[in-house]
Amino acid sequence: MATDTTSPAHPAGLRESKKQETRELISDHATRLFIAQGFERTTIVEIALAARVAKKTVTNYFARKEDLALDHQDAFIASLARTVTGRRSGESALAALRRAFDESAAAADPVAGFSGPAFARMIADSPTLSVCLRGLHDQREQALAEALAAAVDATPDDITVQTAAGLLGTVHRILFQRIQDLTLADRPNEEIAGTVTEEAARAFDMLEPALGQYAVA
């Protein structure tokens, strides 16, 4: 009799799929409530009721209420460092980050700031989320510093590494906010992408004399 050698892994796959579905369900209901009534005024209990799960289920999947609203934060924190680590042969960190930003803008990537007007307004109207977002920018810059340090065989606290990470991180922070501001002004994504791509070129050009040959792969 034939034996199905894939069957032991099948239940585990189903469990993971179910967990992901539950996570997305909770996140979707939370976002809807945050947009409708504001982040600060929405409770975990309300989110649990809307998603038809226990309050403990919500907190098991999301340790903080902020995590429900900013559910791309891991990808956001890692984005610049990942670009530097994966830069092409002969490509500097600056060149890789320029290229990656242009690609993100063309794709209207939420991680780059293309969130839609309702979501952007939710963040802008919430002191808690605004502070959290600033913290995520700081964490992203620190992750970038670690990637740059590895690229040039230095320590993350090296002054040159810190300066390079600060300059590159600041440009990305400004561009992210620019995308948010244009989104709040109800500009369509295509127009926003065109505007910030042109502005990014000018911003990155300012860094070229200092960082054009820094951390070349």
Q: Per residue in 33-59, pLDDT tens?
A: 999 999 999 999 999 999 999 999 999
Cβ neighbors of 5 (< 8 A, separation 6 or more) are none
Tell which wins on pLDDT, 161 or 71: 161
Question: What global pTM score does this model have?
Answer: 0.88
C-alpha 115/C-alpha 1 separation (Å) is: 54
- The residue assigned the tokens 């947009």 is 35
Q: What is the mean pLDDT of residues 60-72?
A: 92
For the chain, domains (ranges, CATH) are 9-69 (1.10.10.60), 73-211 (1.10.357.10)
- Nearest residue to 214 via CA among 84, 86, 102: 84
